[in-house]
Chains A and B, each alone.
Chain A
Amino acid sequence: SQTIHQWPATLVQPVGSPLSLECTVEGTSNPNLYWYRQAAGRGLQLLFYSVGIGQISSEVPQNLSASRPQDRQFILSSKKLLLSDSGFYLCAWRTLGSYEQYFGPGTRLTVT
């Protein structure tokens, strides 16, 4: 069966520090991968998506970047965090031809 892992579960980082969040998927190959952010009291905002290794589409200009170094690995990064980067970050995947996106457990990021 397919599973999706995200880590860490929670993270508290000071302003100006770097960020690396990792997402890995098991049990499937060549998935589409997605990073979303959920800010307090708001809906989900799609940040990045990837249809293959090294292929990244950015939906919103921001302080963050994404990379896909392996087929089932998706990384969200920042060189210098801002207070506004605080939120709940969710990774998701889907396979070609499927309607459903499967979400990971999320990472709660607090920038202080």
Chain B
Amino acid sequence: GDSVTQMEGPVTLSEEAFLTINCTYTATGYPSLFWYVQYPGEGLQLLLKATKADDKGSNKGFEATYRKETTSFHLEKGSVQVSDSAVYFCALEGGGNKLTFGTGTQLKVEL
């Protein structure tokens, strides 16, 4: 079945540091890939998406590129802020109207 593997957290960075959160997936066919963000005490919000190979999703300074050859969708940001502190979830949709989520990576950004 479909699965998503994320790097374990928490990830702790200083403000303005470079961020990478790794995500790899296993799926049949050509899934769509997503990053969701969950701020403390809230539900999830879609951060960015990519629907086919080599697509780059971007939003709020975050980027991720759909790499079919390495089955990866790593999240990056060049300069993180304290307000980026949250839990980040990688997810895929392989069909059937369902999302498969990774376990989430907690990001803490300190001054």
Contact = CB atoms under 8 A, between A and B. Distances in A.
Interface string A41-60: 01110100101000000010
B109 interface: no
Interface residues of B, number: 20
Nearest to A96: B97
Interface stretch (B40-48, B69-77, B78-86): B40-48
A49 B42 contact: no
A63 interface: no
Contacts of A49: 97-98
Contacts of B42: 105-106
B58 interface: no
A103 B51 contact: no
Interface of B: 32, 34, 36, 42-46, 49, 51, 89, 93, 97-104
Given A101-B99, A103-B36, 7 more contacts: A42-B104, A43-B102, A46-B99, A51-B97, A99-B51, A103-B43, A103-B44
